[in-house]
Chain A
Amino acid sequence: DQQVKQNSPSLSVQEGRISILNCDYTNSMFDYFLWYKKYPAEGPTFLISISSIKDKNEDGRFTVFLNKSAKHLSLHIVPSQPGDSAVYFCAASDSGGSNYKLTFGKGTLLTVNP
């Protein structure tokens, strides 16, 4: 049972445009969310996170939006650059002292075309 779902296996975007990657979750105990970026033959790299007490967090070109009622979050990349081409993983965690454990989605392959 997938508790974190990334329903789009791939996304292709033109350089300079916005990339929107989506993620849905089913576990209402999740209260901390992260996005990781992964290049081939490398480990995942932390990108941005958001706590459930917020609905938006921004870091440069990257913004994460959280809609708790819909159990949905999205990552916006503006403007998209060819170097952003990678697999993006959404991950979630719950609190209560166990918030070290991440549950990942299957990932979305983003391709930014020059």
Chain B
Amino acid sequence: GAGVSQTPSNKVTEKGKYVELRCDPISGHTALYWYRQSLGQGPEFLIYFQGTGAADDSGLPNDRFFAVRPEGSVSTLKIQRTERGDSAVYLCASSPAGALSGNTIYFGEGSWLTVV
């Protein structure tokens, strides 16, 4: 497809379990972003990749959260020992480059995570 693809679209997991969320960005986009949107809130920045490296991971809430992008394309967001407060929509986005001016960030449909 032409857009940002995220899988799974929905995930229900038990508290304490490990979860992986996958993002396939638009082909050729070097910049990739993860955001988290909790109920009633706007999206919150988690991490930004430029190529394979995490250029800014300042938004990750704690060390249970980790993300990789080993080949500069697909990215995986990993959450260990999930807690009920992790329940949210996890949005992935990509853009042709890291700078916003003159660029547009394209979002995927999100992965809805529910921790029970």
Contacts and interface: CB of A to CB of B under 8 A. Distances in A.
Interface stretch (A13-21, A56-64, A65-73, A94-102): A94-102
B104 A46 contact: yes
Contacts of B113: none
Interface string B69-110: 000000000000000000000010101001111001111111
The number of chain B residues touching the other chain, given as a range, is 20 to 34
Interface of A: 4, 6, 32, 34, 36, 41-46, 49, 51, 89, 91, 93, 98-107
B45 A102 contact: yes
A45 B105 CA distance: 9
Contact of B107 (A45, A99, A100): A45
Contacts of B100: 32, 34, 49, 93, 99-100, 102
Contact of A89 (B43, B48, B110): B43
Contact of B31 (A51, A91, A93, A100): A100
A32 B105 CA distance: 13
A98 B45 contact: no
B1 interface: no
B20 interface: no
B105 A46 contact: yes
A46 B43 contact: no
Contacts of A106: 40-42
A101 B40 contact: no
Nearest to A42: B109
Contacts of A32: 100-101
Contacts of B106: 46
A102 B98 CA distance: 12
A39 to B, nearest CB: 10
B44 A104 contact: yes
A100 B99 contact: yes
Nearest to A36: B107
